Structure formats: structure tokens, C-alpha cells
Amino acid sequence: MDGQSEVQAMDADLARRLRRALTGSREELFITMQDPAPEVLHTALRNRALNELHLLALLKRRDLGEDLLRAIHQTENARQSHKVRRALIRHPHLPTSLLQTLLPLLHLFELLDICFLPGVAPDQKLAAERLIIQRLPTTPLGNKITLARRATATVVAELLKEGHPALMEPCLENPRLQEMAVARFLRGVRADAENISIIARHPRWKARKTLRTAILKHPRTPGIWFALWLPGMRGPEIIQLAASQRLTPSQKSWIKQEMRRRGLA
């Protein structure tokens, strides 16, 4: 076969595939969804037999370009199907502009799933986290507790800020929670005697030197923690603690007693 004949054969094959893409049955469309030619896939989006299952099959492909993803987004199936919108959001080549349009349509824990997708882009994760945080004021407590156990470092730090007793343990157990977030909470207005003690008792956090110092400098820290921790502190640490301007008279009394016992006063 000469070159011209090969071109004619290729053109005929493409024409056949385009015709099948436009007029083929539902079963034939599943075959078309695997076609390598973008123009064939674009044509298939106009097929009256196209449904949600075809688009979900197509979106499993990772070689789709931005133009095709935009075209999928504009189909009636995409506008009506939550599953298709979710599959679009999960596609690694989805344009940022479409991502910003689609993310707000996801449910709370679907947004969280986006944060943990393998290979998720930093801007996708950040956008999902921002939406989760925006929804926190209207999120039921039960969902917040589940979220506290599973969330990213950014989201769990935001939940910890609330200082709700029911959220403290789940937040503190979250392996992604960072020490700086706990220290920041201890400097905030929501830290009270109850949740300060929850942190002080927690096996993961109670031995952190920075957090112990922050707890002992807090005016709402119960006296029991001074009684338990001061004997184990070095002299210079106690002297430095005694200089804190945040301490209450009773807290200062605990420290002075320990300093007298050691001959530091």
C-alpha cells in the first residue's frame, strides 16, 4: 500500500470512529470512551445515548486534556450527576478555574478525601481545606468529632481552636496535629482549666517540654499540675517560670514553695 492509500485508509477509519462516536449505541459508546483521538471523544459527548456511566468510564483515563475536561463539565450529565462532578474534581488535569467552581458542590467528607488523594496538587488541597474550615461554624458536633480524628493538620488545628471539650481528645489523638498548634491553643482565649488538663494528661503531649512550660504559665492551669511537675524541673527553669507575668497569686505560691524547698528563694 502506497502512502496515499495509507492516508485514505486512516481517514476512512477515523471517519468510521467519528460516526460511531456520534450515533453508536450505549454499548458501543463504552468502546469509544477508550479511543485515543481527542476529536472522537469530543464527538462522543454529543451522542444522545451518552449517560453518567460513560462519563465515569472516560474520567478514569489520566490522559485527558483540559479542553476535553471542560467539554465534559458542560454536558447535561455532568450538571446533573454528583458522581461525575466528583470524578472531574479528582482528575489530575482539571483546570484550576473548574476546580474552584466544582469544589463547593462537594460534601464535607468528600472535600476531606480530596486532601488525601495521591498526587493531589497543593492548590487543590489548600482550596479543599479552606472550604472545610468555612463550613465549620454550621457543621454538627458529631461530624466535627469525626473530622477531628481524620482531618489534615490545618483543619484539625482549626478544630482545636474551638476548645470544645468533646473535640479535645479527638484532636489530640490525630497524628497530623502539630505541636505548634497545641502551643497556639494554649495561648488562646479558649484554653480553660478543663481542656488544659486534658492536654496535660494526654500521653502524647504531656512530656513535651515546650507545652509543659506553656501550661504552667497559663493563669487557668489547675494547681495539681504545679504540684506534679515542679519537683521534676531544673532550678533555672523554675526561676524563669516565677518571672512570668501571667501567673495568679495561688500559682506563684506553688512556685515559691518549691523554690524555698530547694533553697532558691
Residue 7: per-residue pLDDT = 43
Each domain of the chain, given as residue ranges in start order, spans 1-105, 116-177, 191-265
* % of the chain beyond a pLDDT of 70: 96
Per-residue cell: 255: 512556685
Work out the average pLDDT over 39-54: 96
Contact 156, 148 (CB under 8 A): yes
Which three-class secondary structure string do you get for the chain?
A: CCHHHHHHHHHHHHHHHHHHHHHCCHHHHHHHCCCCCHHHHHHHCCCCCCCHHHHHHHCCCCCCCHHHHHHHHCCHHHHHCHHHHHHHHHCCCCCHHHHHHHHHHCCHHHHHHHHCCCCCCHHHHHHHHHHHHHHHHHCCHHHHHHHHHHCCHHHHHHHHHCCCHHHHHHHHHCCCCCHHHHHHHHCCCCCCHHHHHHHHHCCCCCCCHHHHHHHHCCCCCCHHHHHHHHHHCCHHHHHHHHCCCCCCHHHHHHHHHHHHHHCCC
94-148 pLDDT, tens digit each: 998 999 899 999 999 999 999 998 888 888 899 999 999 999 999 999 999 999 9
Work out the average pLDDT over 165-183: 97
Asked whether residue 165 carries a pLDDT value surpassing 90, the answer given is yes
Residue 196: per-residue pLDDT = 97
Q: Higher pLDDT residue, 47 or 264?
A: 47
Residue 30: per-residue pLDDT = 96
* Cell 494554649, residue located: 186
Asked whether residue 10 carries a pLDDT value surpassing 90, the answer given is no
202-218 pLDDT, tens digit each: 999 999 999 999 999 99
184-205 pLDDT, tens digit each: 999 988 999 999 999 999 999 9
Q: pLDDT averaged over the chain?
A: 92
